[in-house]
Each structure stands twice: as structure tokens, then as C-alpha cells.
Amino acid sequence: MSSSSPTTEPSSVTQLLNPHSPLNGHDSTDQPQPPPPQDPENQPKDDAVPGDKRKREENDDDDPKPSVVPPLWKTSLCSYFRRESASCSHGSGCRYAHGEAELRPRPDNTWDPTSERAKKQKLEEEDGDQCAAPDNVMMTEAVDDDDDGDGDVGGLDPELSKCLVHLPRNWKSEKLKDFLSEKGVQFKSAKKKKGMTLGFVSFQSVEQLQTAVKELDGISIGNKNIKVADVIPRSFEKKTKSAMALPQNPQKTTDVELDGENVEDSVVANGAEDGNGTSGRSARKVVTPLAHMPYGDQLEHKKNSLMQILKRLTRNARKACPDGIPLPEWILKSREIGGLPCSLEGILASPVVNGYRNKCEFSVGYSLQGKITVGFMLGNFREGVTAVEEPFDCPNVSRISCKYASIFQEFLQHSSLPVWNRFKNIGFWRQLTVREGRRPGMASDAENCEANIAEVMLIVQVSSTGFDDAQITSDFERLAQAFSAGATASSPYLPLTALVIQDHRGISNAAPADAPLRSLSISKGEGSSEMQATDNVVEPKIHDYISNLRFCISPTAFFQVNTLAAEKLYSLAGDWAELGPDTLLFDVCCGTGTIGLTLAHHVGMVIGIEMNASAVSDACRNAEINGITNCRFVSAKAEDVMRSLLEEYINAPQKQENNVIEGIDEVVATDEEKPISTDNKPNPEVNSSHELESGKTASEGLETDKQELRSQLQSSCTSENGNAPVKHFSNVVAIVDPPRSGLHPTVIKALRTHPGLRKLVYISCNPESLVANAIELCTPSPEKIEKNKNNRAWRNMSSAGLARHRAKSMPASEPFQPVKAMAVDLFPHTIHCELVMLLER
């Protein structure tokens, strides 16, 4: 280690100020470090990991503290102190701080990034970006009703009311009232909803209001300072609705009226007075923040951002390396490429820049003017933003999607059922999702891309709790007629393949995959649309094409939103994986099987793993449609089956009667005679997905069928003749495409600890998650495994910090090494892009 570790002094102050420089910590232990130098440029870095690796001569501990304090003296926490919570062997002469009390700010007025001060400052900056001023608060929901059941229904007089911003999210109205009482603030009423950072307070007189503003403005709660904002009322457009005046079910009158006639005021804070962008927010800025930049500049911006994120992998992996174990070669070589863990080979541009999204989710709510609107929210609910703006200015949304949003918005103006109120969590209409399917072929611009759209599926999300069935049925019939008439009347004609209703009762619009679905029939003739009996309706599907393969897409299945750019993404992943006839490809988090199926003709076999039952059904159907016979899809959580599947196909052949995969929920095999089922019986996976229309969930009946499925597992683990054992492959490659949260720790451990897996291609839509997962995959295993302590400190850790913590308990295994990375821009005009990284060992 001593021969390869750097021992020279840093060449610039810039290196000194970089707490994650490669010169840290892992120097040779047989060469004592020099005593505290007077020259700051001779100081080692602040995040040296092992405390005993900076040992000085024995008499150095008696050296007095320099009379002239170097600029970087005590500006970083001692790494030994951070790790052991005790003073290191250097004693009081240590140039590093042994606690927050000793810590000093750096010359650039920043703090050690590992300190509590720096973490709090970062949180304040992040929260400040989202809620930097009161004019970011745009509540368009009524707050003068008795939301929390405390009996306080006092109305908000804008002249005698204020909005308090930066309140703790876990506070409710009662807690806010207690806080005001403790501060000696007199008030008439106080309203606060848990999960939001703002509350509303009304007063009985101007004197009370002025006194309260002086007392509350700028007061500190935790690490936040309260801001006082004005409350500006907005009149909602009144509508006479006979259905509201004479509800068929009197028990449900309150639910309807709370979000209908009785909703007279919306409140926005300071600066949104004219509702025309005075607040500085718009759907275009929120949804496509890079739309003002030329596309070439957008790509450069994203590349630079990714470089900074990738450097965190190097820094955190260095910190995670166990004591006494040499640093991996890729960390040592990172100095040569600017601190990157591997070379970033650039960013691939999207073939289509405008109107590229094949899936758009439009929220239903109120605009700043109080109009029922279908579009995009202008911020986060927890920050007090519920305003919705139409999507017409967003360049990533197609004309067809915007048109359907407009049709739905017009329908809601005359609906007898209320829209969803996010403040009270009541209402009926919640969200519209538009999914588009394209014909095969390339398109170089948005106009040609839209001309290729052949199929459209509309998913309308509702919450039917507390509403009369007859009223719901009536509105659904009118909804189907409205979409059918709107599509026919549009020029050119809008394709419309399926209309689906999703019933979701949760607080947020993120519905689970098994939320009940029901299909409404669409007739081309105006006025002839009607609901079909759900028992006779086949689950609605649309189709799209990637690499000349036809893919079937169900309402909730995952499919890349930029089809043409996805072709580039999958082609890149296949090239880097170096596939061959003797390759077994694991497609982890496979969705509808797009990656595995597009690469199936290059490999011996594909094993796809996906927890969404409907998506697995689509994957099997996609394999059958395209005549692909070397794929097997498993419907289960990857963390439950990954290890067993690796052992099944990589280890030496075992007797078939013992070949039972533990933790598997559903198995679907595809071959020439049985492309979808594991045996001659109907596939319960397909059946359950087809029964979603009648309200049954995809997992219904799973427990009763599990034993039968396990007993039939042998047939899915054999070749076509049913007698030969499972084929074992010499080259095993995994391609993982996890959700934004990244891979489950159990999946990471299975991939890392199985020696037969030598190559891993990681496709990430969230580079932060990739960094966290790569820390565990690429950090050397400790000689002694540390058991994770049962404490709650992890709650305050970053994703990288958690990964470093879990790396300490990684079983002894050969780590992967980052080889190369490349970005693919699937999301023009936004800050997001896909990142592909090749890991080998």
C-alpha cells in the first residue's frame, strides 16, 4: 500500500480545501506523519479515515499549539473522533477538531461537510430554494372549514389574517395554537394541517395583528425562521348545480358541498395577487426548468451536474473503505480523471426534443384565479402550493395530451361531482393520465412524432368514497361521451383507444399498482358511449415499438416516457454488456420486459424480475407477440428471489426435485409451446391482471395458489422437452433499471456476493441512488463484519451515508469496479437524465 499511496505534499491550496481529495487518510502506516506545520499547505486532508494513520513522533504530542493558528486549524472534524467518538492519539495537539464545539469555519466561511452545522446549513438551503419567500405559497383550497375537527370554523378575513411560513411539518392546528399562546400572541383562530409548512392565523383587531407580526416575524423554530405573509382572497366562480342542491343521498351532502358551493375563498400569499405570474412560478418553469436554454447548453449543464454527483461516489467510497485494507485501484486512479470514479464518456442527445413524453399525469385542482384546472401543480403541497396551471406552455408535452387535458377540464366545469381538495383530502376527480402508443419508425421532430401516435389510453383517477353510485354512473357516461366527442371534433382527429377509471382513496395521487381499475367503452358515434359490464371487458392495452419490437402496455405498467431515446439507452446497455450466445441476462426491475426482449436475440436466455403483476403479464404477452422464446419472467420482489435465481442458473446443476426457489411469488415462463403459462393451466398472473376491471387486485388469491405454483415450478425451470435440467451459462450479466429509490439492500447483497456474476450494467434515472448503491457494490469488504446497531441514527443520514453504514456489514466478497459511464438524455428541458454505468470485477 505504501508504494502506491501518495506521500507528496499537495500542490495548491485548492487541494487543501477539498475535504475529499485522494490524498486523504490511507497513507503508509510505516511512515510517521509530520507534526502540525506552520504552513497550511502541508496539512493533510480533513477526512482521513483511520486515526492512527496520521501518527507523529512520540515527542510530537508534547509540542505546543502553534502560536500563529494556521488558516485550516480545527476547521475539520477528526476522522478518528467521527468514527470512535473519542479523542485520537494526537491529543490536544491534533490539528483536527474533536467535537462541534472546537470546530472553526473554513477560510471561505464554510463548515466541514460532515459536521452538524454544515448538514443543517444544507437543509436550510434546500428548503430555502423551495420556499425561499412567502410569495411561493399558493394555496387555492379553502381553509375556513373545520378541517381538523376542533370546532374552530372561523372564517379568514384577509385584513385581519396572516400566513405563517416555515412551521414544522408535524404540527397540527392544536400545536400551532399552543405555540401562539406560549408566545403571548392573542388570536381569533389558527389553522394548520399536518405535513405542510404553513399555517393561517386570524385576529380580532388590527392591534392584535400588528403585535403578533412584531412577535412572530423572524422567530426561530428549530433551524428555521418563521416568515409572516399576507393572505389574499380569491373568489371562486360560482356554479349552479342542481345535483348539489338536491343530492340523491343526503348523507353525502357535506362531502359535495365542502368542495363545491361552500368553497368561496382561496388563499395565496404575498405576490401572487394578479395570478399572472407575479409569483414567479409557472408550469413551464416548474416542469421544464431548462426550457429557456438551447438544447446544447442543456446537455452541457446535465453533464457537469453528473460529474459532480459521480465525484461523490469516489469520496464516499474512500470513506467507506475499512481500516487496514488497501484502497481499490479505481479510487487511486480517480486523481488522474479529476476525482471521477470512472470516465464519463459524454451524454447522448434525445432524437426528439419537444413533445416527446408518451405518458403525462395531469393533476386536477384550482388555478390561482379559482378556476377548475387540469394541468401541473406549481410546487409541493407541503410547502403550501396547491395551485394548478394548464400544460400548454410545457414543451415536453404533446399536443394530443394537452388537448385531452383541455377536454377533461371543460367537462369538470359542468360535473356534479367535486374535484379533489388537497387540504381536506376529500372530493372525487383527482387526476388524468394520458398514455400514447406510437407506430414503428423514426421521427426527428415533434410534428412527425405526433403524427406517429396511433393509440391513446386515458386513465382518470377518482376517489369514490362517500358518493352515490347512480350519480357516479351518470357522470362516467357523460365523461365517456365528452372524450369521444372531443376526439372526433378535433382536427386532426385524436386517437382514442381506451378509457379507464382508477379508484384510489389515498392522500397523494400516487396510487398502488393494484388499485381497482374499471374500463369505460368508447364509441365513435357521438352520444352512443356507455359503460360496459366490467366482467366482459378485456383489460385495456395500447402498444408501442422499440427496436422494431411491439410492446403491449397496460394502464399501470412502466414504460420509458421517451420511446426513441429509450432505443439509444437499451442499445448502449447491450453494447457495454458484451452479450453472446452463452450469456445469461438478468433483467432486474424489468417492467414490461423492454430491455430483456430487445436484447434477447443476443443472448442464450433472459430472466426478467418485476414486482408489478400486470407488467409481468405484459412482458409475457410481449414475448409471445414478438416470437421470443428464450425469456422467463418472474413476478416477485427482486430482493425475495434474486439470490435463488442466481444460484439456480449459475451454480452446478442440481436435481430438479430440489430446485424450489424460496421467496418467489409467481413464475412465468415463455417457450414455443407455453409462452405465457408455467403449465397447461391458465396463468393466475394473467387472470388476476385481467380481473382488475371488476375490482379484484393483482395479488388476490395469491396465497392460496402459492403452494400449487411452487409444485409446478419444475416445469418453468426445464427446457422445451421438459426433461433436461436447467441450462447453466458461463457468462452471466445483470442489467438493473431500478426506480428512483434505487436497488433494495438485499438485491445489492445478492449481486455483490455471488461470484458468478462478473458484469453489471446499472441504468439509473436518479444518479444519487446510483451513487449510494455503487458504494455498497464497489467498496472492499471489511475483515470483521460489523452488525448494524439497532438505533435511529440512520433516519438523519443521507443515502450515501446509509450506504457507507451498510457497507460495513457486507459479507466478504470481491467488489465491483466502475469501468465507464455515459448519460442518455431521456428528459429534454428538465434537469433529469438517465445515467448508465458499467461495473465489472
Residues sharing a CB contact under 8 Å with residue 795, sequence separation 6 or more, in sequence order: none
C-beta separation of 266 from 236 below 8 A: yes
Question: What per-residue confidence (pLDDT) applies to 689?
Answer: 31
Which value, in Å, is the radius of gyration of the alpha carbons in the chain? 30
Q: State which amino acid sits at residue 729.
A: F
Domain boundary residue among 203, 230, 257?
230
* Alpha-carbon distances of 32 from 19, 26, 107, 563, rounded to whole Å: 21, 13, 28, 58
Q: How many CB atoms lie within 10 A of CB 107?
A: 13
Crossing angle (nearest 10°) for helices 638-650 and 745-753: 10
Position 607 confidence tier, pLDDT thresholds 50, 70, 90 = very high
Instruction: Evaluate whether residue 365 is within a structural domain.
Output: yes
Q: How far apart are CA 588 and CA 374, in angstroms?
A: 35
Could you report the per-residue pLDDT of 635-647, keeping only the tens digit for each? 988 888 888 887 8
Residue 231 DSSP class: E
Do residues 166 and 103 share a domain?
A: no
Beta-bridge mates of residue 385: 138
| pLDDT greater at residue 623 or residue 113 | 623
Tell me: pLDDT of 521 over 50: yes
Q: Is the pLDDT of residue 538 over 80?
A: no
- The 3-state DSSP class for residue 339 equals coil
Of the two residues 818 and 218, the one the predictor is more confident about is: 818
The amino acid at residue 11 is S
pLDDT at 598 over 80: yes
* pLDDT band at residue 68 using 50, 70 and 90 as cut-offs: low
What range defines the domain where residue 217 resides?
Answer: 158-230
State residue 821's pLDDT score: 96
Report for 7-21, 34-48, 100-114, 311-325: range of highest mean pLDDT: 311-325
Distance between CA atoms of 505 and 464, rounded to whole angstroms? Answer: 8
Q: How distant, in Å, are the alpha carbons of 1, 139, 343 from that of 361?
A: 54, 21, 36
**583 and 549 in one domain?**
no
Which one, of 189, 384, 367, lies nearest residue 270 by Cα? 384
The strand order across the sheet containing 429-438 reads: 388-389, 372-377, 359-366, 429-438, 453-462, 498-503, 517-520
Crossing angle of the two packed helices 745-753 and 767-778, in degrees rounded to 10: 40
pLDDT value, residue 799: 84
* CB 489 within 8 Å of CB 532: no
Q: Which of the residue ranges 201-210, 426-435, 751-760 has the most confident prediction, judged by mean pLDDT? A: 426-435
Cell numbers 358541498 label which residue?
257
Which of 100-114, 526-540, 614-628 shows the lowest per-residue confidence on average (mean pLDDT)?
526-540
Cis peptide before 6 (omega within 30 of 0): no
537 grid coordinates: 371487458
- pLDDT computed for residue 470 by the predictor: 93
Find the mean pLDDT for residues 529-550: 69
How distant, in Å, are the alpha carbons of 242, 673, 747 from that of 619?
47, 17, 21
The per-residue pLDDT for range 379-391, each reduced to its tens digit, is 887 777 888 999 9
DSSP codes of every residue in 641-664: HHHHHHHHHHSPP--GGG---TT-
pLDDT tops 60 at residue 167: yes
* Residue 273 scores a pLDDT above 50: no
- Cα 388 from Cα 665, distance rounded (Å): 41
Identify the pLDDT of residue 243. 34
Helix or strand or coil: residue 785?
coil
Is the pLDDT at 767 greater than 90? The verdict is yes
- In this structure, what C-alpha cell is assigned to residue 2? 505504501
Other C-beta atoms lying within 10 Å of the C-beta of residue 449:
24
For 652, half-sphere exposure in the C-beta direction (CA atoms, 13 angstrom radius) is 0
* Mean pLDDT, range 772-798, rounded to an integer: 77
Claim to verify: residue 599 and residue 738 sit in the same structural domain? yes
Residue of 449 and 135 predicted with greater confidence? 449
Give the per-residue pLDDT at 217: 83
Q: Compute the average pLDDT of residues 584-598.
A: 91
Where residue 455 falls among pLDDT bands split at 50, 70, 90? Answer: very high
Do 544 and 573 lie in one domain? The reply is: no
Q: Which CATH number is 203's domain given? A: 3.30.70.330
Residues 504 and 612 reside in one and the same domain: no
Q: Which helix (H) or strand (E) holds 461?
A: strand 453-462
How many alpha carbons fall within 13 Å on the CB side of residue 501? 26
Q: Is 468 marked as a binding-site residue?
A: no
**Nearest Cα to 823, choosing from 352, 313, 303, 339?**
303
At residue 31, what is the residue type?
Answer: Q
Res 773: pLDDT: 94
Mean local confidence (pLDDT), 807-812 = 87
Phi, psi of 612 (to 5 degrees): -80, 110
Q: Answer yes or no: is 1 within a domain.
A: no
All three cell numbers of 85, joined, read 467518538
Tell whether 827 is covered by a domain.
Answer: yes
Q: Is residue 49 within 8 Å of 323, Cβ to Cβ?
A: yes
List the one residue out of 4, 10, 578, 783 whose CA is nearest residue 330.
Answer: 4
Domain harbouring 484, CATH code: 2.40.50.1070
What stretch of H or E contains 551? strand 549-553
Q: Name beta bridge partners: 448.
A: none
More confident of the two residues 749 and 237: 749
Res. 703: pLDDT tops 80: no
Element spanning 839, H or E: strand 834-840
- Angle (nearest 5°) at CA 785 between 784 and 786: 115
H-type helices in 523-582, by residue range? Answer: 563-577
Inter-axis angle of helices 767-778 and 295-320, to 10 degrees?
30
Is pTM beyond 0.85 here? Answer: no
Decide which of 780 and 248 is more confident: 780
Residues 547 and 589 in one domain: no
% of the chain exceeding 70 in pLDDT = 68
Q: Which residue did the predictor score with more confidence, 539 or 473?
A: 473
- Residues 407, 490 within the same domain: yes
pLDDT over threshold 90, residue 708: no
Of 719, 705, 710, 635, which is closest to residue 670 (Cα–Cα)? Answer: 719
So which residues are the catalytic ones? 765
pLDDT category at 707 given cuts 50, 70, 90 is very low
Residue 447 burial (10 A CB sphere; 0-12, 13-18, 19+): exposed
Q: What is the pLDDT of residue 6?
A: 40
Task: Give how far Cα 409 sits from Cα of 242, 507, 570, Å.
Answer: 20, 22, 37
Co-location of 547 and 422 in the same domain: yes
**Residue 719 confidence (pLDDT) above 50:** no
432 part of a folded domain: yes
Look at the block and give the residue holding cell 362517500: 466
Question: In which band, very low, low, confident or very high, does the pLDDT at 524 lie, cut at 50, 70 and 90?
Answer: low
- Per the structure, the count of domains in the chain is 4
Higher-pLDDT residue of 606 and 793 is 606
Q: What residues contact 13, with CB distance under 8 A and at least 6 apart?
A: 40, 41
In the structure, what pLDDT confidence band is assigned to residue 656 with cuts at 50, 70 and 90?
A: very low
d(CA 802, CA 796): 9
- pLDDT for 82 equals 67
Question: What pLDDT was estimated at residue 125?
Answer: 60
Q: What angle do CA 645, 648, 650 make, to 5 degrees?
A: 100
Is the pLDDT at 535 greater than 80? The verdict is no
Q: What is the pLDDT of residue 104?
A: 85
Listed in sequence order, the residues at least 6 apart from 704 whose beta carbon sits closer than 8 Å to its beta carbon are none
Write down the pLDDT at residue 614: 82
**Stretch 570-584: mean pLDDT:** 93
Dump the DSSP string for 737-770.
---TT---HHHHHHHHH-TT--EEEEEES-HHHH
Residue 278 has pLDDT above 50, yes or no: no
- 500-511 as b/e, with b when 16 or more CB fall inside 10 Å? bbbbbeeeebeb
Higher pLDDT, 518 or 695: 518
In residues, how long is the chain?
841
Give the H or E element holding residue 477: helix 469-489
Q: Are 24 and 16 in contact (CB under 8 A)?
A: no
- Residue type for position 761: V
142 vs 799: CA distance, rounded Å: 37
- Which residues does 639 contact at the CB level (< 8 Å), separation at least 6? 744, 745, 746, 747, 750
Same domain? 216 vs 183? yes
Which one has a higher pLDDT value, 354 or 653? 354
Q: What is the distance between the alpha carbons of residues 416 and 398, in angstroms, rounded to a whole number?
A: 29
Query: What is the arithmetic mean of pLDDT over 135-159?
Result: 53
- Report yes or no on 152 lying in a domain: no
Residue type, 758: R
pLDDT at 172 over 80: yes
- Between residues 298 and 370, the one the model is more confident about: 298
CATH of the domain at 594: 3.40.50.150
Q: How many CB atoms lie within 10 A of CB 748?
A: 24
pLDDT for 792: 57
Residue 118: pLDDT band (50, 70, 90) is confident
Q: Are residues 601 and 735 in the same domain?
A: yes
- Asked if residue 206 is part of any domain, the answer here is yes
Question: pLDDT (tens digit, 9 = 90+) per residue, 484-507?
Answer: 999 999 888 899 999 999 999 888
**Spatial contact of 277 and 266, defined as CB atoms under 8 Å apart:** no
Q: Does residue 276 surpass a pLDDT of 50?
A: no
How confident is the model at residue 685, as a pLDDT?
34
Closest among 595, 405, 414, 427 to 509, alpha carbons compared: 427
Last residue of a domain, one of 230, 258, 279: 230
Residues 596 and 548 occupy one common structural domain: no
**pLDDT for 341 beyond 60:** yes
Indicate if the pLDDT at residue 286 is higher than 70: yes
Q: Which residue has the higher pLDDT, 626 or 661?
A: 626
Pairing outcome for strands 359-366 and 517-520: unpaired
CA distances from 29 to 25, 47, 53, 150, 781 (A): 10, 16, 5, 66, 20
Tell me the pLDDT of the chain averaged across its residues: 74
Percent of the chain exceeding pLDDT 90 equals 36
- Best CA proximity match to 821, nearest among 353, 297, 303: 303
pLDDT band at 85 (very low <50, low <70, confident <90, very high): low
On whether residue 278 sits in a domain, the answer given is: no
Any idea which residue has 369505460 for its cell? 520
Of 549, 412, 521, nearest in space to 458 by CA: 521
Specify the higher pLDDT residue, 119 or 151: 119
Do 593 and 628 form a contact (C-beta atoms < 8 A)? no
Residue 63 backbone dihedrals phi, psi, to 5 degrees: -65, 135
Please check whether residues 434 and 456 belong to one and the same domain: yes
CA–CA separation, 431 vs 447, rounded Å?
27
Residue 280, domain member (yes or no): no
Domain end, chosen from 215, 230, 245, is at 230
Which residues pair with residue 232 across a beta bridge?
268
Is 737 part of any known ligand binding site? yes
Tell whether 100 is in a known binding site. no
